[in-house]
A = this chain, B = another copy of it.
């Protein structure tokens, strides 16, 4: 079954900041979408990757569009406030129904992520081009497959704890920075039938999404976050009569 991916890009820094334009002349979303296409093809995962921009968000993240999206990556920063509340609620509902969500970097403050977390999602930050080292702390997680320990990001914005999130269901990566801060940089959350993976590397002022190891994580995450197509959960029936679950014969085979 084709994995249907939407790459949401705010695409604002790219329009107003020459430094960002130089790194990402065609937008960060283009680089993210291209690397997903390439890595998933190499992995043998049949996938369709489309781009969804803030400028056309009512269309690109409409009910209909989201209904046909399996996994949504989300990069936003300066324009979180321009995402309509109803779109954010719609995205959260789709996660409840099974869509995967991959919030990236400053999307810790995006509306859908905050709705799904129920916390402030505050953190400490400093933009001084420090080195980030992304250490794997889960020995068996598919999202960490094939990446070095640590992944080195030569220059990055520094994020630091306390990161005000619920304790992740699974903690995959922890980063340190030149200045000494640490950050839970790869965090798994399950919400309803949907899976969420927050991944912090990727400030717009540094060419982070061009790094092969970072791309590997994105591709791993998207594959992991696909819906599981459970019929049973969460509940479809609400008020359930006694013995509602009986009545079908149990099938014995072999």
A interface list, Cβ under 8 A from B:
31, 34-35, 38, 92, 96, 98, 115-120, 122-126, 128, 131, 133, 135-142, 144-150, 152-154, 160-164, 166-167, 169-171, 174-176, 178-182, 184, 189-195, 207, 210-213, 215, 227-235, 237-243, 245-246, 248, 250-254
Contact = CB atoms under 8 A, between A and B. Distances in A.
A138 B228 CA distance: 11
B139 A254 contact: no
Nearest to A113: B118
Given A141-B228, A240-B160, A135 B182 contact: yes
Contacts of A192: 119-120, 139-140, 164
Copies of this chain assembled into the complex: 4
Contact of A233 (B35, B144, B189): B144
A110 to B, nearest CB: 13
B163 A193 contact: no
A16 B67 CA distance: 42
Contact of A240 (B124, B195, B238): B124
A141 B170 CA distance: 13
8 contacts: A116-B118, A124-B238, A139-B162, A139-B164, A148-B231, A167-B171, A178-B180, A181-B240
Given A124-B237, A228-B141, A212 B96 contact: no
A32 to B, nearest CB: 10
